[in-house]
Amino acid sequence: MDSISSPSPQAPAIPGPRDLFAREALALIPKILTLQDRNPHSPTYGCFDRNYWHYKIIDFPSGMAGEFVLPLALAYSLDVPGNGFFQQPSLREWVIAGIRYSARSAHPDGSCDDYFPFEKAAGAAAFSLMASLDAYTMLDLHDLEMLEFFARRADWLADHHESGRLTNHQALIVLCLEKAGKLLATERWDDLKAKRIARVLEWQNEEGWFQEYEGADPGYHTLTVGLLAQVHEFTPSRELREAIERGVSFAAEFVHPDGSFGGEYTSRNTYNFFPHGFEIAGRWLPGALAINDRFATGLARGLGACYADDHILGHHCWSYLLAWRDWAASRPPVPPRPTGRVYFKNAGLLIDRRDGCELYLALNKGGVFKLWRDGRLIASDTHLSAQLSLGKKTRTAVGHLVGRSEVSLDGHAITIRGRLGWAKAKRMSTFNLIVLRFLMFSVGRFFPDLIRKLLQKMLITGKKAAPFRFERSLSWADGKLRVADTLEARKGWQKVRSVGIGAAQTSIYVVMSRTYQAGQLQPWVDLTGQLHQLKDGEPLKFERSL
């Protein structure tokens, strides 16, 4: 009897770059719908903050969640292969409910909260307004209540100035005013738009990057480029086009050889990547398209970061779908990888490509780095970390904080000297929550920006030096990178319980940071055992050849 052989299972075909972006985004739509109250008879119908309407564990809805109407509107509107949400009537109704909930849950002046009551958060107000404006236009809606809400929120954004230098927020507000002005057929925000765009251009460094708190974050930078590319479509100008070109040139340097992007060596520790702007800029700057093509190779390998968090999954979802919609059919070949050293002195970032290796190094963060060899990540290093027992408390001193370090550079060697800083580990307690609520329902509701500024200093920008000095030396020899670390404890090692080097340590609060990415599987390097061999006053030394 002849044997019957079964067909060999075939691996599913990997979609092309364009459809890959769409597939990644559409996979998040069911989660977004799960986050929304979709019961028309519910008092919170349309709300996307499940912690508020379903779990009832917070006392106000996050206004940022209103942004989720844009991914839903795009899923409804775009005939993407395999898109089961295309032209579904229920999806359209849920988008309308989401916009109406944003309008009805806003403060009388059009603003909204994000992390605490009466916060009046500019970022949440702007992202949700942009999303609502786009969704309204996409679905061809005609609703007076929504239009009145758009005008109120745009008025508030036009006159509001938040603390901290976040260029992506400034660019976003300009885009909101552009879209709102066009929809409402008004020019009343034109002067304020011009002032904001001037600020954006002023905050762009001569190296091409846009300021994000303490420096350059390539991830948020791609968002800013995308927002400005949309603004340029509304109001073309030579200055804005040149700024976008400089921004594209900077971003192009940070697509890693395996297609991943960003990481802990950046100012805000993000793996963000927003592709939409590169498709728009690619219409007049074809080289921008190669950035998306390179990143898509990493996305196909599972090297994109996971942003499926309840609060942050919206940004990437709509950017990916917009990239699919505006995808350039004609694309130049992806150029070969560059070689040599690129030094962004103002950003404190250095890229060194030689002998099949690529090193991405943060000089302003003590020497945090990532290293690839032959396209494979072989080291992710967020610097030395020492954990101390101080009575009943435990504190951690780290080398990865942005700060002033002494840097020495030559052709084959780099030396960085500085001090460890205390990691930020402030958490919310019952007492702190009560105090914050009391403040916001009394003085804080009249001065929300003061509270925001204090929290920024506490959680992000404020730093205190720890009693440790470090020296990190990186040098090339025989095609390998030698890394030598020295750590001195000014008050001795008696209270130090653990020392090591992690692949993905961060310790400032950034919304889009601390997401999972495959490179974080690099193991922890435990140096604690060496402490027992040290004599009093002797430094800890650790050398590697990579």
In this structure, the answer to whether residues 252 and 282 fall within a common structural domain is yes
Would residue 390 count as lying in a domain? yes
Please give the pLDDT value at position 344.
97
**What is the mean pLDDT of the segment spanning 13-17?**
77
pLDDT digits (tens, 9 = 90+) for 63-80: 999 999 999 999 999 999
Q: Is the pLDDT of residue 528 over 70?
A: yes
**In the predicted model, is pLDDT for residue 14 greater than 70?**
no
My answer on whether 232 and 301 are in the same domain is: yes
199 three-state secondary structure = helix
pLDDT of residue 218: 96
State the residue range of the domain holding 177: 164-305
* Domain-located, residue 184: yes
Q: What is the pLDDT of residue 2?
A: 44
Shared domain for 269 and 393, answered yes or no, is no
pLDDT at 12: 53
* Residue-wise pLDDT tens digits, 237-257: 999 999 999 999 999 999 999
The predicted model gives 145-156 an average pLDDT of 98
Residues 131 and 188 in one domain: no
**Is 526 contained in some domain?**
yes
| Residue 455 pLDDT > 80 | no
- 147 and 173 assigned to the same domain: no
Last residue of a domain, one of 281, 305, 329: 305
Number of separate domains in the chain: 3
Average pLDDT (326-354) is: 95
Q: What is the mean pLDDT of residues 182-205?
A: 96
Q: Which pLDDT does position 342 carry in this prediction?
A: 96
For the CA atoms of 153, 159, 161, 167, the dihedral, rounded to the nearest 10 degrees, stands at: 70
Other CB atoms closer than 10 Å to residue 387's CB: what's the count?
17
Residue 3 has pLDDT above 50, yes or no: no
Residues 484, 516, single domain; the answer is yes
Query: For the segment 51-65, what is each residue's pLDDT rounded down to a tens digit?
Result: 999 999 999 999 999
User: Which of the four pLDDT bands, split at 50, 70 and 90, describes residue 281?
Assistant: very high
Residues 406, 533, single domain; the answer is yes
Query: Residues 472, 476, 478, 481: is their CA dihedral positive or negative?
Result: positive
pLDDT greater than 90 at residue 537: no
**For position 462, what pLDDT does the model report?**
64
Least confident segment among 1-5, 197-201, 433-437: 1-5
Q: Given pLDDT bands bounded at 50, 70 and 90, which one contains residue 214?
A: confident
Q: What is the dihedral of CA 147, 151, 157, 159, to 10 degrees?
A: 180
More confident residue, 441 or 321: 321
Residue 215 falls within a domain, yes or no?
Answer: yes
Instruction: Name 174's Cβ contacts closer than 8 Å, sequence gap at least 6.
Output: 193, 196, 197, 200, 227, 231
Closest CA to 272 of 261, 281, 280, 264: 261
pLDDT band of residue 227 (cuts 50, 70, 90) is very high
Mean pLDDT of 450-460: 67
| Same-domain pairing of 206 and 105 | no
Closest C-alpha among 279, 141, 287, 164 to residue 215: 164
Taking CA atoms, 187 is separated from 102, 146, 151, 182, in Å, by 24, 19, 12, 8
One domain, residues 263 and 388: no
Q: Is residue 13 pLDDT above 80, yes or no?
A: no
Residue-wise pLDDT for 377-408, tens only, equals: 999 999 999 999 988 889 999 999 988 789 99
pLDDT at 288: 98
**Residue found by looking up tokens 């008050």 in the block:** 491
User: What's the rounded mean pLDDT across residues 203-214?
Assistant: 93
CB neighbourhood size of 233 (10 A)? 12
Residue 73 is assigned to a structural domain of this protein: yes
pLDDT at 113 over 50: yes
**Separation between Cα atoms, residue 320 and residue 373, nearest integer Å:** 29
- Are 188 and 146 part of one and the same domain? no
pLDDT digits (tens, 9 = 90+) for 21-56: 999 999 999 999 999 999 999 999 999 999 999 999
The answer to whether position 60 is within a domain reads: yes
For the ranges 14-23, 272-281, 321-330, which has the lowest average pLDDT? 14-23
Mean pLDDT (whole number) for 143-160: 97
The band of 278, judged by pLDDT with boundaries at 50, 70 and 90, is: very high
Instruction: Kindly indicate the confidence band of residue 536, based on its pLDDT and cuts at 50, 70 and 90.
Output: confident
Q: In the Cβ-directed half-sphere of 523, how many Cα atoms lie within 13 Å?
A: 3
Q: Which of 319, 318, 223 is nearest to 262 (CA)?
A: 223
Mean pLDDT of the chain: 92
Query: What's the pLDDT at 7?
Result: 47
Answer with the residue of higher pLDDT: 115 or 297: 297
Q: What is the CA radius of gyration of the chain?
A: 25
pLDDT score of 4: 44
Is residue 278 situated within a structural domain?
Answer: yes
Distance separating alpha carbons of residues 518 and 509, to the nearest angstrom: 21
In this structure, the answer to whether residues 410 and 504 fall within a common structural domain is yes
Q: Does residue 421 sit in the same domain as residue 365?
A: yes
Distance CA 495, CA 390 (A): 7
By mean pLDDT, which of 3-17, 301-315, 318-332, 522-536 is the weakest?
3-17
Domain boundary residue among 277, 305, 333? Answer: 305
Task: Give dist(CA 239, CA 244) in Å, integer.
Answer: 9
CATH number of the domain that 254 lies in? Answer: 1.50.10.10
Residue 334 lies in a domain: no
Q: Where are the alpha helices (DSSP H) in 47-88?
A: 50-53, 69-77
